[in-house]
Structure 1
Amino acid sequence: MRIAVSVGSAASLSAAVLLVVLATAWLLARRSRVARRRAAAAAERARRQAEQQADRLRAELDRREERLAGELDRLRTREDELAERSAALARAAAEAGELLRRRAAELERTAGLSAAEARAELVREAESEARREAAVTVREIERAAREEGEQRARGILAGAIQRLAAEQTAETAVSVFRLPNEEMKGRVIGREGRNIRTFEAVTGVNLIIDDTPSVVQLSCFDPVRRETARLTLEQLVEDGRIHPLRIEHVHERSRAEVERRCVRAGEDALLAVRVGAMDPELVRTLGTLRYRASYGQNVLGHLVESAHLAGMMAAELGVDPEPVRRAALLHDIGKALTHEVEGSHAAIGADLARRFGESADVVHAIAAHHGEVEPRTVEAVLTQAADACSGARPGARKESLEAYVRRLERLEEIARAHDGVATVYAMQAGREVRVMVRPEVVDDLGAQVIAREVAKQVAEELTYPGQIRVTVVRESRATEVAR
């Protein structure tokens, strides 16, 4: 009985499972049918929408085609109208050309000239009239420009000169040195004149001692050499120890001091004219002009004055004044080297400025300030004008002093050109040339030959009052150190 019940329960359970499976399959099939119907409905809707869109596009294309057809018809009609007008214009042009030919023929018959001849005559008359009018206009413009330019130039120059109050000092070839007492003269001369001879040989400056109480004179055409000698003598007198070795030692210190003063003078000049930085060697060379004179005018003072004048004129003309002041400040720098380098001071100065990195406009202004090179820039023209204004001041130029200095420089050049010459000094206001030769190169006989040749060349080349004595000194020194 228990076995039968178990079998019946199993059969019921199987039937229930089968029913569940069948129910699940039916539900899945139903859902699949619903999904297919929905997909078909969506596809149908999409198809209908695509057909509607296509219908709309076809309708729009039809409308555009109709509009284009209408435009094409209108364009064809317009083309026909333009063709008719063009033909009418061509006919009118032909008629006008025929009328012009007839008129020209009639005019030629009446005037007795062909059209080409009449045209040429008309052109000649027009050209002649135009030339006359142009010439009158050009002369009027030139006259007005000249008057206005001259008036403005006078105003600029007058204003620049009036605004600058620079003092003029006449340089001489003699410096006066005051001694503390009359006894110092004897110490300066030394035993048997050895101190004064050594002083003159070392410094190259003539020391003049006369009857004037407590005063000696230093005579030399080279201002740098004369200033060095003055400082040497000043230190020797202050120290009181005056002998040949001391003179040489003090002279070396004085030369170094003059070098420092030259550098300071160059720096002061840069500050005075307000220009930018400059190569130190160029500043030192500029400072040496503090001790040089041109026609009696201090060269460094002349350069500073020219720079101020050029800067003022540049400001009046609306030009950048800094490069103009720079060019005017350096335009005579070549005078510091004329005794060492051959050539004009303008060419020497331009080469020096170029070598130390100055701009092309500054170099050109230096080279052109005396007209040796044609001025091409406003800096060059203003440098020329400032140089002329500064040199034209009353008392600024003295030809006699310049000729005297040139003669003394030439004296030294003649003697220095001989082989074996170590140092040359023009002394006694140019009445004596003292030549120091190297003893290892020139013997006693050679010294006599040099003296005779120098005297002969001086007599042939130079013009001078009185006579000039040529002294050749050949000195041998032996030096040992005791330890």
Structure 2
Amino acid sequence: MLAEIAVIGGSTGVGLAAGFFLQKYISAKQIGDSQDLAERIVTEARKEAEAFKKEVRVQAQDEIFAQKKELEQEIKAQESALKRQENRLQSKEERLEGKLEKVADKESRVVELEKRLIKQEKRLEEFEEELEHKADEHERKLQEISGLTVEEARENLMHEIESRTRHEAANMVRNIEMEAKESASKKAKEVLSLALQRYAGDYASEQTVTAVTLPSEDMKGRIIGREGRNIRALEAATGVDLIIDDTPETVVLSAFSPLRREVAKQALERLIHDGRIHPARIEDIVRKVEQEMDVKLRETGEQATFDVGVHGIHPDIVKLLGQLHYRTSFSQNVLQHSMEVAFLCGVMAAELGLDEKEAKRAGLLHDIGKAVDHEIEGPHAVIGADLAKKHGEHKAIVHAIAAHHEDVPPQSILANLVQAADSLSGARPGARKELLENYVKRLEELEGLATGFNGVSKAYAIQAGREIRVMVDADKVNDESTYMLCKDIAKKIENNMTYPGQIRVMVIREKRSVSYAK
């Protein structure tokens, strides 16, 4: 057993030794194989590196070659572009050289032309001198033949040119005015005739009475009173002068203010009716009449605005409208005239498509200045415009009031409407009355203005001064000049006369030839 163990033990030791050496041999072999493998790997890696290096070198050479080729192509393209540019520059230089040659040719021709012009100028100067000399000689001969100096001949020529120009201008003006009148006159007549037809005004105008009828002659003494104390008290209270003369049963009231005359008239009538005439009673009656008159003025003004259809007027203006009831112009009641103008303005404004209410307002207020023109200096149109402006009226209304007598040039259709309506109201038959003396004086002035023109032989005012017929000398005035003469006469009448409506000017030229058969 031990032997077996010893044998087994001995064999085991041998086996271990053999295994160790075998293991060592195997390890050595493996190490040798690994070294060989490593050498082979290194060798292969070197071969691959050499191959890769060659490949990279080839690729680099290819890229260098390609870049070189591209650079060569770019250089060739740039060279070709530069060559083309050089060709273009060369062609431009050639063209410029050609142009320079042409310019040089032109300069040479210009120099030649300048020389020719200088020669021609010299010839012209010589020719002008010769012409001047001939003209002077010709003028001298003409003066000898005609017997006229240069100034006289020039005046004759200018006179002839002026007469021809006047003739042409007269024909042109006449044609233009005829064309304008064909349309404007027809429309204006339609509007005016319609306005007159639609207004039915009273032909009998109201007058302000300034005389008081007494029941008997004894009343004069009572009005005068003891030592004149009654008449002095009445005059002091009313501001009116009482004229007591030989006129039977009549006392005349004299004052510039028609309103004061009306107050004095009513107070005197009440005193006569009452019979108690003394200073205290006079003052009491006059005070009551003045208070009643203030109320009556306001009521009259309000009634006028209501009848016309105009509202929103300042109370002070309404009171002034009431005062117009006691004012007359050419014996025409001013308030009635203002209402008539307002109605005519409204009708014409409606026909023309304008503001009817504004036109009525301007027409009603156009103569408002006459209520105070005896207290304030200046034309009643300007006074009325200032009053209207002061009491807040629109500037168009103010301008229409100021311009209705052309104290201010009319600058609106409304102002022209008021002016036309004012003329219509004053010019209609029966509207106004004039004294015979003033009437004759106006006709004489009208005829005198017409006869003051050269070539007028006679002038006749007809139709109550609404028309003037002018006879001219046919030897002094030709057919064309009659038209301009007619316009000049009308213009002079407009500038020098005041008249209602319009005046027709007719110039008549007649040529008569008389011969006798023997």
What do the CA deviations read for 1:376-412 (whole angstroms, capped 9, x no partner)? Answer: 2221111010011111123544566999xxxxxxxxx
Query: SS in structure 1 opposite 2:312?
Result: coil
Contact 2:363/2:418 (<8 A) preserved: yes
Match status 1:219 vs 2:254: yes
Could you tell me which residue of structure 1 aligns to residue 369 of structure 2? 334
**Offset at residue 361 of structure 1 (A):** 1.4
**Offset at residue 375 of structure 1 (A):** 2.0
Structure 1 counterpart of 2:362, which letter? A
Query: SS in structure 1 opposite 2:243?
Result: strand
Could you tell me which residue of structure 1 aligns to residue 350 of structure 2? 315
Cα 1:140–1:191 change in 2 (3 A) is: closer
Structure 1 counterpart of 2:259, which letter? V
CA distance in 2, matches of 1:268, 1:382: 24
CA distance in 2, matches of 1:214, 1:138: 65
Contact 2:208/2:327 (<8 A) preserved: no
Cα 1:343–1:176 change in 2 (3 A) is: closer
Cα 1:182–1:399 change in 2 (3 A) is: closer
Which structure would you say has the larger RCO, counting Cα contacts within 8 Å and 6 or more residues apart?
A: 1
Contact 1:327/1:383 (<8 A) preserved: yes
Could you tell me which residue of structure 1 aligns to residue 264 of structure 2? 229
Match status 1:357 vs 2:392: yes
Cα 1:234–1:287 change in 2 (3 A) is: same
Contact 2:257/2:374 (<8 A) preserved: no
Could you tell me which residue of structure 2 aligns to residue 179 of structure 1? 214
What do the CA deviations read for 1:88-112 (whole angstroms, capped 9, x no partner)? Answer: xxxxxxxxxxxxxxxxxxxxxxxxx
Aligned residue among 254, 269, 274 for 1:239: 274
**Offset at residue 328 of structure 1 (A):** 0.7
Contact 1:169/1:296 (<8 A) preserved: no
Aligned residue among 362, 368, 384 for 2:403: 368
**Offset at residue 365 of structure 1 (A):** 0.8
Structure 2 counterpart of 1:222, which letter? S
Structure 2 counterpart of 1:223, which letter? P
**Offset at residue 214 of structure 1 (A):** 4.3
**Offset at residue 320 of structure 1 (A):** 2.1
CA distance in 2, matches of 1:368, 1:145: 25
Aligned residue among 222, 226, 232 for 1:191: 226
Match status 1:378 vs 2:413: yes
What do the CA deviations read for 1:5-26 (whole angstroms, capped 9, x no partner)? Answer: xxxxxxxxxxxxxxxxxxxxxx
Cα 1:372–1:209 change in 2 (3 A) is: closer
Could you tell me which residue of structure 2 aligns to residue 71 of structure 1? none
**Offset at residue 198 of structure 1 (A):** 2.2
TM-score after normalising by structure 1: 0.51
Structure 1 counterpart of 2:396, which letter? D
Could you tell me which residue of structure 2 aligns to residue 273 of structure 1? 308
**Greater CA radius of gyration, 1 or 2?**
2
Cα 1:342–1:349 change in 2 (3 A) is: same
* Structure 1 vs Structure 2 CA RMSD: 3.0
**Offset at residue 150 of structure 1 (A):** 0.2
Match status 1:389 vs 2:389: no
What do the CA deviations read for 1:67-121 (whole angstroms, capped 9, x no partner)? Answer: xxxxxxxxxxxxxxxxxxxxxxxxxxxxxxxxxxxxxxxxxxxxxxxxxxxxxxx
Contact 1:173/1:222 (<8 A) preserved: no
What do the CA deviations read for 1:137-189 (whole angstroms, capped 9, x no partner)? Answer: 99989754431210121121122123222225567675232334554333222
Contact 1:334/1:345 (<8 A) preserved: yes
TM-score after normalising by structure 2: 0.47
Query: SS in structure 2 opposite 1:291?
Result: coil
CA distance in 2, matches of 1:168, 1:232: 30
Contact 1:173/1:220 (<8 A) preserved: no
What do the CA deviations read for 1:252-300 (whole angstroms, capped 9, x no partner)? Answer: 2222222222111111110111112211011011211111122322211
CA distance in 2, matches of 1:330, 1:324: 10
Structure 1 counterpart of 2:417, which letter? L
Cα 1:401–1:200 change in 2 (3 A) is: farther
Match status 1:159 vs 2:194: yes
Aligned residue among 226, 237, 250 for 1:202: 237
Contact 1:311/1:324 (<8 A) preserved: yes
Could you tell me which residue of structure 1 aligns to residue 181 of structure 2? 146
- Which runs of no fewer than 5 residues in structure 1 stay unpaired? 1-136, 404-483
**Offset at residue 309 of structure 1 (A):** 0.9
Structure 1 counterpart of 2:295, which letter? R
CA distance in 2, matches of 1:399, 1:263: 30
Contact 1:174/1:218 (<8 A) preserved: no
Paired positions, count? 268
Contact 2:234/2:279 (<8 A) preserved: yes
**Offset at residue 197 of structure 1 (A):** 2.7
CA distance in 2, matches of 1:402, 1:309: 31
Cα 1:315–1:216 change in 2 (3 A) is: same
CA distance in 2, matches of 1:251, 1:169: 31
Contact 2:203/2:430 (<8 A) preserved: yes
Identity of aligned residues (%): 54
